[in-house]
Structure 1
Amino acid sequence: SAKTGEGVDGLVDAIIEHPDIKGISFVGSSAIAEYIYSGGTANGKRVQAFGGAKNHGVVLPDADLDQVVNDLTGAAFGSAGERCMALPVVVPVGEDTAERLREKLIPAINGLQVGVSTDPDAHYGPVVTEQHKQTVENWIAKCAEEGGELVIDGRGLELQGTDGWFVGPTLFDHVKPDFESYKEEIFGPVLQMVRAADFDEAVRLPSDHQYGNGVAIFTRNGHAAREFAARVNVGMVGVNVPIPVPVSYHTFGGWKRSGFGDIDQHGPDGIRFWTKAKKVTQRWPDGSAAGDHKEAFVIPTMG
């Protein structure tokens, strides 16, 4: 945690409290983001503070499942799942959709190649540290203990000639919203399937989650997509876009515990954060003869 003390913790508080530092931009865990936002704003600073995520991909019955599977494997497992816009939760609507999606997902996930970064055939590489590898594998064990069906287990992956921190692609089915492993961000190559009975439940799942960074909906129905985008309580929505990151001339930012305050990144908010507007009001004399001037006790106008 970021508390006053020595080393990194002391540095965090020094930044928060230093009078010459006018703004702080932070990306990390939600607990630290909230700490920095609260402390920074209390000291009169402008703060961008972005936390964790648990992005959902909602799959309606009319979706193109071949395209969905292609999108999901990249969004869930790319970069070993270590990105704030990864898609670690898939929400098929209806049992038939879930079964058809599962049937297509299993061979696609089993076909993913894990390897070193120099391997052109590798879809992703190791996780960031040995400690994080253990954390991810602990979450896999936790989800199984909670009752999730471990369809594909990525633990224990070993590559010949390497001693890296590799975790294979992992798939869970029948995950429930009360699982701790669903509530928290795993930040690894783990995809959890949470089945929704209907459209309303599919809207409610990401809306009720503590994180609200991004969400995607896969459908051919424009009305359903518009209804979902309007109702879901999440900051960034993708329609048939698995990683809903807007291009950088639009703002980027999540809601709830994914982002604190009202200043996002990029776009107009990025300019607003990194600059400070100055207002200059001017009037130039027209050279009238002395004595023509009248006292003005009103706010300047454009007249």
Structure 2
Amino acid sequence: ATGNTIVLKPSSEDPISQVKIAELAEEAGIPPGVWNIVHGGRNVVSGMLDHPDIEGICFVGSTPVGRDVIYRRCGETGKRVIAMCGAKNFALVMPDADLDRTIAACMTSFFGNAGQRCLANANLVIVGEGLSEQEHEEFYQEVVERFVASASRIRMGYGLDDTVHMGPLRDKKKRDRVVGYIEKGLEEGATLLLDGRQFELVNDIPDTCFVGPTVFENVTLDMTIAREEIFGPVASVMKARSLKEAIEMIHQIPYGNAASIFTNSGKWAREFQYNVQCGNIGINVGIAAPMAFFPFGGMKDSFFGVLHGQGREAIRFFTESKVVIQRWF
């Protein structure tokens, strides 16, 4: 759309989707040399970062790589950069929330794609704004019971089966990593309400790469499962006495990719959207994904660069501005 040729290096762990898109581009008549794919690992990335004919780099991946490799090297070589990195997203449930719709939204945001997306929620905070301690505890128990009950009913199996709600993780290595986080949560003192290591599949397929919906409570912000991006179907449930406290909890995490609030109060929604240091804000939306004509936000350790992907900011990134001053006689 902006007249650039591109060199795309897909993830070496999951390259097929980008290959298929390139095949469709070729089939549509895009000339050879405009849409290019290069497979490989770190050596390919290093070559792209150092090549003088590449003027800009767009990256999606982990914060350590985005911050310490991509962003730093682009600064050294004078390339413009969009580095979209890790996340640890929060969802707040306020006392006035529509719980039926809230729980339904949470199921897709916490467990959709088996938690393998940067906008997946990971920490569920049940807020007691305006409630007594007893009322807050009762509200907390109601939300937790509904959340766990719905998560336990998620159908797992072959991802292309229309009756299945959740498919596998990317591979066995990924599955082992998520299981490691579950075990770490138990070691650090969290309470396991729903154990994703035990599950049933609706299809007769190997279970090698599956982990079921997992729910922890009694989670504190110093725990690994509360701070690190697991990239799997693991939810940590916490309490906050007030909206202010809940926002402060979000700010104790180094990431700032997305955050959601479920409420019918315009006051609470405005306070949340103006004060939370995250780039993508959801109001009664579990997956705070902007439409393509808006920028994909990100703050703190979730984003490195100046211009974001999507929308007008992406157009500015992929073009050079030109100013013409004219006078005619």
Summarize the alignment of residues 215-230 of structure 1 with structure 2, pairs less than 5 Å apart: 215-230=259-274
Residue 8 of structure 1: CA displacement?
1.8
Q: Paired residue for 2:196?
A: 154
8 Å CA contact retained: 1:25, 1:47: yes
The one-character-per-residue Cα deviations of 1:111-160 (angstroms, maximum 9, x if unpaired) are 10011023211101000011000000000111111111100001144546
Q: Paired residue for 1:116?
A: 158
Q: Paired residue for 1:212?
A: 256
Amino acid at match of 1:85: L
Summarize the alignment of residues 67-106 of structure 1 with structure 2, pairs less than 5 Å apart: 67-94=101-128, 95-106=137-148
8 Å CA contact retained: 1:23, 1:45: yes
Q: Paired residue for 2:4?
A: none
Cα distance in 2, alignment partners of residues 203 and 169 from structure 1:
26
8 Å CA contact retained: 1:158, 1:166: no
SS class of match (2:121): coil
SS class of match (1:88): strand
The one-character-per-residue Cα deviations of 1:253-286 (angstroms, maximum 9, x if unpaired) are 21011001221111111101111112222223x3
Q: Which moves more between the two structures, 274-283 or 155-164?
A: 155-164
SS class of match (1:103): helix
Q: TM-score, normalised by structure 1?
A: 0.89
SS class of match (2:236): strand
Q: Which segments of structure 1 move beyond 6 Å, counting only runs of 4 or more?
A: none
SS class of match (1:194): strand
Structure 2 residue 175 is the aligned partner of structure 1 residue 133: yes
Among residues 142, 158, 161, which one is paired with 2:184 in the alignment?
142
Cα distance in 2, alignment partners of residues 283 and 127 from structure 1:
62
Cα distance in 1, alignment partners of residues 48 and 213 from structure 2:
39
Amino acid at match of 2:290: P
Unaligned runs of 5+ in 2: 1-39, 129-136
Structure 2 residue 232 is the aligned partner of structure 1 residue 188: yes
Cα distance in 2, alignment partners of residues 223 and 181 from structure 1:
31
Q: Work out the number of aligned pairs and report it.
A: 279
Q: Paired residue for 1:4?
A: none
Among residues 63, 74, 81, which one is paired with 2:97 in the alignment?
63
Amino acid at match of 2:44: L
8 Å CA contact retained: 2:157, 2:205: no
Cα distance in 2, alignment partners of residues 138 and 38 from structure 1:
31
Cα distance in 2, alignment partners of residues 147 and 57 from structure 1:
22
Q: Which moves more between the two structures, 103-112 or 212-221?
A: 103-112
Amino acid at match of 1:31: P
Structure 2 residue 65 is the aligned partner of structure 1 residue 32: yes
Amino acid at match of 1:252: F
Cα distance in 2, alignment partners of residues 130 and 243 from structure 1:
26
Q: Paired residue for 2:245?
A: 201
Cα distance in 2, alignment partners of residues 21 and 118 from structure 1:
38
Cα distance in 2, alignment partners of residues 8 and 107 from structure 1:
42
Residue 179 of structure 1: CA displacement?
0.2
Residue 17 of structure 1: CA displacement?
1.3
Cα distance in 2, alignment partners of residues 175 and 98 from structure 1:
14
Residue 204 of structure 1: CA displacement?
0.7
Residue 161 of structure 1: CA displacement?
3.0
Q: CA RMSD, aligned part only?
A: 1.3
Q: Paired residue for 1:292?
A: none
Residue 211 of structure 1: CA displacement?
0.7
SS class of match (2:323): coil
Residue 67 of structure 1: CA displacement?
1.1
Q: Paired residue for 1:256?
A: 300
Q: TM-score, normalised by structure 2?
A: 0.82
Q: Paired residue for 1:277?
A: 321
The one-character-per-residue Cα deviations of 1:202-232 (angstroms, maximum 9, x if unpaired) are 1111122111100001111111110111111
